[in-house]
Chain A
Amino acid sequence: MDATIFQVLWYFLIFVLIAGYFVLDGFDLGAGVLYPVLAKNESERSVIRRSIGPVWDGNEVWLLTAGGALFAAFAPAYATTFSGFYLAVMLVLFGLIVRAVSLEFRAHDPAWARLWDVCFTVGSLLPALLLGVAVGNIFAGIPMDAAGNYAGVPLLGLITPFTLLTGVLGLVMFLAAGASWIALKAPKPSALQERAAKLRMPLQVAALVLFAVVTAYVFLVLKPEMAAALGAVRVVFAVAFVVAVAAALFFGVKKGCDLGSFIAQSAAAVCLVALLATSMFPNLVAASAASAGPAITLMSAAAGETTLLWMTIFTVIGLPLVLLYHVIIYRTFRGRVEA
């Protein structure tokens, strides 16, 4: 069965939405995890919160859009992953819930400040770690029954050496983005800004190392089938990822250019998602060796052409608006946060 143009388009559009999420919510989730590490006093905590305050909500909408689009375009993939990873998804969800509320309540609720700080950090850590674990699973393959339902052990069955590696790689990417963001937005000069800039470097090196380890693991242990036609594209994205992280390091360490470093770090995140998309194609959820059911592919899972046509119309109208909103909000709150 050949894929139609709409099916291929939507396959990659899902990953575009995921990339948007990874870049945008990436830095505010990372900032949340680093919040207790980097901020040493109330005024520094306030700077971190205010640096993401106006933008985190819009960033998170990328996840909701990706989820909705996956539901609309490839419902079986949405159904299998969300129900199969039930407890893990719920942990991510509880994290997002307490985090959202903590960000809005913290400033008005000094008596409960400690609780909201914990909610902010734990609520950021859960998605930052578990999203990578989930991606590792759909890439490496999960056991499914003939109807496409997850057939493995709940929660613990999702944790393997490989998925732990991808989880940590994801987390480190979130953290590097978070440190880059704080270095970009904190007042300069300030102790907080220096601490963030200093932490940025080892995190980016760690991302490179973990990327190498994950890549080696894929080729030496997993040896998945990958679409041959996309081989060259994959090489380009892999190289681009390394170059982008190296550029982020260069801008950060040599030039002290926080904006350049942040942009390069964001480009690296995009490359990583692009590499994932081209490596998985045409799978949305790979099947493990023990799986009774087949992999969920863009051909087997796609909605009808009418649905995809309407989704495309929505995107053509909606995406420029979304980009416009982002320009408005990031322009309004451009520059460093006041101490």
Chain B
Amino acid sequence: MEALFDVTLLSRLQFAFTAMFHYFFVPLSIGLGLILAIFETKAYRSRKPEDAAAAKFWVKIFTATFAVGVATGITMEFSFGTNWADYARFVGDIFGAPLAAEALFAFFLESVFLGVLVFGRNKVSPKFYMISAWLVFAGSCLSALWILIANSWMQTPAGAELAVDGSKAVITDFFAAAFNPTTIPRYGHTVTAVLTMGSFTCMAVGAFYLMKGRYLEFAKKAVKVGAAAGLASTLVLLVFAHSSAVVVSEEQPTKLAMMEGMYESEAPPLYLFGWVDEENQEVITPFAIPGGTSFLATGTFDTEFPGLNELAETEKYGDMVVEDLPVNFVFQSYHLMVAMFGLIVVVLALAFLALRKERVANNKWVQRLLVVSPAFPFVAIQAGWLTAEMGRQPWVVYPSTTGPDGVSLLTTQGVSTSVTGVEVAITLALFALVYLLLFVAWIRLVTGFIKKGPEVEAIEGSASESAASAGVFTTGFGAGAASSDEAQVLGQKASDPVLAGAGKGGE
């Protein structure tokens, strides 16, 4: 019973579950935010009804996704106080400020201009509307920056020292703390990864219509925009992924050792896949490139890195019990992420082939692959975060190589002492229920949008001239409370005063 209601374990599970769920919607929101802004810009420039319809289509999918991201994001901000009170007390001086800054600088920006996107299509000028789309995207990127600052500080603390009474970490140098050794590489890595996922989602929607033979013009455009944005994102991603790995090798030796299953000190080889036999402390794999990882990290094949057993002997990492470390878990997550990158490259290559050769574009298997392709960056993103977060265990504030003395905290020391395991078990169950509801509702909604497609409606120019149709379109994408089909009919027949009048009941 006691083990079942272990408050640290349950709190970690709850954090993992709520964060991973949240982090399905965040990458989609940021990624599709860019896609949406691109389509809005196109629509603004061309003023063509089909471009406007395409942009409107993305607004619908984007806002439904964004809403779930916002809702589940509140959980994350609250969780540091609810479940990790002792952590909050220890890091409050440093960790709280980025969270407050995120709300102040990013959330207000996003939420206000999202309001414009959802309800303001006919209330503001087309230019302002287009700018609003870019501002929402900028806000979400800014939001990611503050969160990455906060999280990176937990990975590689800097600009701080232990308070005289030892009770908490206090800030000594704001810029050193904000731009600690991992902030920039990890921010770049994160943003390019989520943009890849958004681009692939755009491409997948296009491929879906190619497969169904509907909205072919839009479909081709979506594959093209998605492939181009995807290629740009992954190219930049490579740079940041590499620098993230390098900085792990420099700053987080136990994480590096877990990623490569290194129990003993060695020049780490490069495995494509394998299995860590934790009992016998060895990696089982059919082949390995000797010194390969060493080469990637340092440029030489024979740079030795310390293994877990050696690290556990040191004062800095002495709290670590090698037998309890999730070595295989971290190894698998890391290699899964890398494997997914391989698939991402394949998808991109096929997408560009499809854009050039009609035959490839019409191939059912290529289309199917493109439709499921957002799963690859999604799995890579989740696996990457699992590597980052599990790889720093057993610490929640990691004692990095260049980190200030004493500024570290074991995960078990961070958990709330006034919360019982039973309480966390109750809320974990509630989260499972509520989030399941959200997920089902989101799927229903988004598949509905996709089925309905980027239908050209009588919008913008014509709508604003007609007083009758203004009632239908005033609230932009909010249209169609009573029935979205009804709104569409009305859109097409906006000149019919009887129908248009009926539409006023809708949103």
Contact = CB atoms under 8 A, between A and B. Distances in A.
B194 interface: no
B86 interface: yes
Contact of A332 (B102, B116, B174, B444): B116
A291 interface: no
Contacts of B89: 75-76, 79, 148
Given A303-B93, A332-B124, A78 B448 contact: no
Interface stretch (B73-81, B235-243, B330-338, B392-400): B73-81
B111 interface: yes
B95 A338 contact: no
Nearest to A116: B441
Interface stretch (A56-64, A162-170, A196-204, A222-230): A56-64
B484 A108 contact: yes
Contacts, number: 265
B94 interface: yes
A147 B505 CA distance: 57
A149 B420 CA distance: 12
B119 A54 contact: yes
A217 interface: no
- What DSSP secondary structure best describes chain A's contact surface? helix
Given A75-B89, A149-B417, A311-B97, A58 B108 contact: yes
Contacts of A68: 77, 96, 99-104
A137 to B, nearest CB: 13
Given A149-B85, A325-B112, A53 B95 contact: no
A150 B430 contact: no
Nearest to A63: B74
Interface stretch (B180-188, B250-258, B276-284, B470-478): B470-478
Contact of B427 (A78, A90, A325): A90
Contact of A339 (B72, B120, B168, B504): B504
Contacts of B99: 67-68, 71-72
A319 B105 CA distance: 9
B71 A101 contact: yes
A93 B482 contact: no
A195 interface: no
B71 A54 contact: no
Q: Name the interface size band of chain B.
A: 35 or more
Interface string B222-259: 00000000000000000000000000000000000000
A286 to B, nearest CB: 17
Interface residues of A, number: 77
A55 B67 CA distance: 13
Contacts of B420: 154
B475 A50 contact: yes
B126 to A, nearest CB: 14
Contact of A78 (B64, B81, B417, B434): B81
A106 interface: yes
Contacts of B92: 71-72, 74-76, 78-79, 303
A61 B108 contact: yes
30 contacts: A42-B505, A49-B507, A53-B475, A57-B111, A61-B103, A68-B96, A68-B99, A72-B95, A75-B91, A78-B80, A79-B89, A82-B82, A83-B418, A84-B418, A86-B416, A86-B427, A87-B426, A89-B81, A105-B64, A107-B480, A108-B449, A147-B417, A149-B416, A154-B423, A303-B170, A306-B174, A310-B171, A310-B174, A332-B116, A332-B120
Interface of B: 60, 63-64, 66-68, 70-72, 74-75, 77-78, 80-83, 85-86, 88-89, 91-97, 99-105, 107-109, 111-116, 118-120, 123-124, 168, 170-172, 174, 416-420, 423, 426-427, 430, 434, 437-438, 441, 444-445, 448-449, 471, 474-475, 478-484, 504-507
Interface of A: 42-43, 46, 49-50, 53-55, 57-58, 60-61, 64-65, 67-76, 78-84, 86-87, 89-90, 93-94, 96-98, 100-101, 103-110, 112, 147-151, 154, 303-304, 306-307, 310-311, 314-315, 318-319, 321-322, 325-326, 328-329, 332-333, 338-339
Given A49-B481, A329-B115, 6 more contacts: A72-B93, A97-B75, A108-B480, A303-B170, A318-B108, A319-B104
